[in-house]
């Protein structure tokens, strides 16, 4: 494995924690260990790509609580949950709270490495998407209220003369606003403009679904 990602191993058992870290470093994967969930949540920087390998039963806050905290903060950090106690209810709860996988100890090293590779790839894609959406947000926030009104009508497929009629202005004014919108959003065609707004709307829908 070679990337800028880090695997955060959270387990209060030093022998398990150290063995996982040793395994990861044997394939050139950066890893950092934590004895409890509190320390990890306090120290983690949300722009760092990677994944979490998380024990369920620990002193202090449980692994499930850590998982729920990550979900509530919408952190782009896929989590692989480990446990020595098979429990279907716990496994279902972990997956519902965003766990990528639920593995029983002792686990097969190759299976863990495979899941870590998948988790890191997912984390990197999620962070790239977040960066893209933040860029779109910044561009859209540069628009005036009138420009946002024009933009909404443009992406719905309305012609300039229709937009002018609905907003009570001249067609030339709408052409002026459209040119400013294209410049502020850094797009060169209507197709680009529609795709850009579509990505923003997809994000808004994702947010609504996660809140329900």
pLDDT in tens, 136-171: 889 999 999 999 999 999 999 999 999 999 999 999
pLDDT at 108 over 80: yes
Is the N-terminal amide bond of 49 cis, ω within 30° of 0?
A: no
Fold classification of 142-211 (topology level): Arc Repressor Mutant, subunit A (1.10.10)
Coil, helix or strand for 143? coil
What CATH number labels 6-127? 3.40.50.2300
Q: Domain map of the chain by residue range?
A: 6-127, 142-211
Coil, helix or strand for 186? coil
Tokens representing 17? 């924690």
Are 95 and 67 in contact, with CB atoms under 8 Å apart? no
pTM over 0.85: no
Helices (H), 107-170: 109-141, 145-155, 160-167
Give the per-residue pLDDT at 203: 56
45-74: pLDDT as tens digits: 777 789 999 998 888 888 888 988 888 887
Among 31-45, 58-72, 111-125, which stretch is predicted with the lowest mean pLDDT? 58-72
Give the per-residue pLDDT at 25: 95
- Tallying the residues shown for the chain, one arrives at 212
């Amino acid at each position: 494995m070679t990337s800028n990602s880090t695997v955060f191993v959270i387990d209060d058992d030093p022998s398990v924690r150290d063995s996982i870290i040793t395994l990861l470093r044997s394939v050139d994967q950066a890893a950092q260990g934590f004895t409890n969930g509190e320390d990890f949540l306090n120290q983690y920087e949300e722009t760092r790509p990677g994944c979490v390998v998380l024990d369920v039963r620990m002193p202090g806050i449980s692994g499930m609580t850590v998982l729920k905290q990550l979900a509530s903060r919408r952190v782009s950090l896929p989590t692989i949950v480990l446990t020595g106690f098979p429990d279907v209810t716990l496994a279902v709860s972990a997956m519902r709270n965003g766990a990528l996988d639920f593995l029983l100890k002792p686990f097969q090293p190759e299976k863990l490495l495979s899941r870590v590779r998948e988790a890191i790839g997912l984390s990197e894609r999620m962070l790239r998407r977040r960066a893209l959406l933040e860029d779109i947000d910044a561009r859209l926030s540069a628009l005036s209220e009138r420009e946002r009104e024009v933009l909404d009508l443009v992406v719905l497929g309305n012609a300039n003369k229709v937009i002018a009629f609905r907003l009570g202005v001249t067609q030339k004014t709408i052409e002026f606003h459209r040119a400013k919108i294209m410049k502020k959003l850094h797009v060169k065609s209507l197709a680009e403009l529609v795709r850009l707004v579509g990505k923003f709307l997809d994000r808004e829908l994702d947010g609504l679904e996660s809140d329900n």
